[in-house]
Amino acid sequence: MWLPVLSLIIGLFLGYISELRIPPEYSNYLSIAVLAALDTLFGGIRAQLQGTFEDKVFISGFFFNILLAAALAYLGVHLGIDLYLAAIFAFGVRLFNNIAVIRRLIISKWNDNRKKA
């Protein structure tokens, strides 16, 4: 468990010291990509807790979701429709769902442990 947390911190640190900044017109894409990545990560945690985790699904979902979201946003910009809102909505709803399921799973696990003890 500590390795992903550590690498998250390392990633934050790397991004911070690299002083990398993207032009404002592309910040929409990055924000969607971040959302997609968060969604994938929480989906992975949920699958892990439910015992249905599959490596290939996880890693392909990570990249595919990011690319799909960015492509949708790009298409939206060129069509003049705020299509990125669709991605934000979809990922947002899924994020909440995933977190709710994770919460339930953790609570039920905790309850089981207490009953055993």
Partner 1 sequence: MKMNRQYMLAFVALVLGMMLSVQFQTANNPIERDTRDIWELRADLEEEKKRQQMLNEEIRKNEDLLHQYSSKGQESANEAMEQALADLKKQAGLTEISGQGITITIEPFNEGLVGGDTPVPHLYPDMLRRLINELNRYDALEMSIDGQRVVSRTPIREVNGSIYVNNEPLSSFPIEINVLTDDSKKLHQKIIASPAIEDFIRENFYVEAAVSDQIMLPAYTEPLRVKYMKQVKEDS
- Residues of this chain that interact with partner 1 (CB under 8 A) are 3-16, 18-24, 27, 30-31, 33-34, 37-38, 40-41, 44, 53, 55, 58-59, 62
Smallest distance from the beta carbon of 43 to partner 1, in angstroms?
11
Contact assessment for residue 30 and residue 22, using Cβ atoms and an 8 Å cutoff: yes
Q: Where are the beta strands (DSSP E) in the chain?
A: none
Smallest distance from the beta carbon of 71 to partner 1, in angstroms?
17
Phi, psi of 40 (to 5 degrees): -60, -40
Residue whose CB is less far from partner 1, 14 or 93 = 14
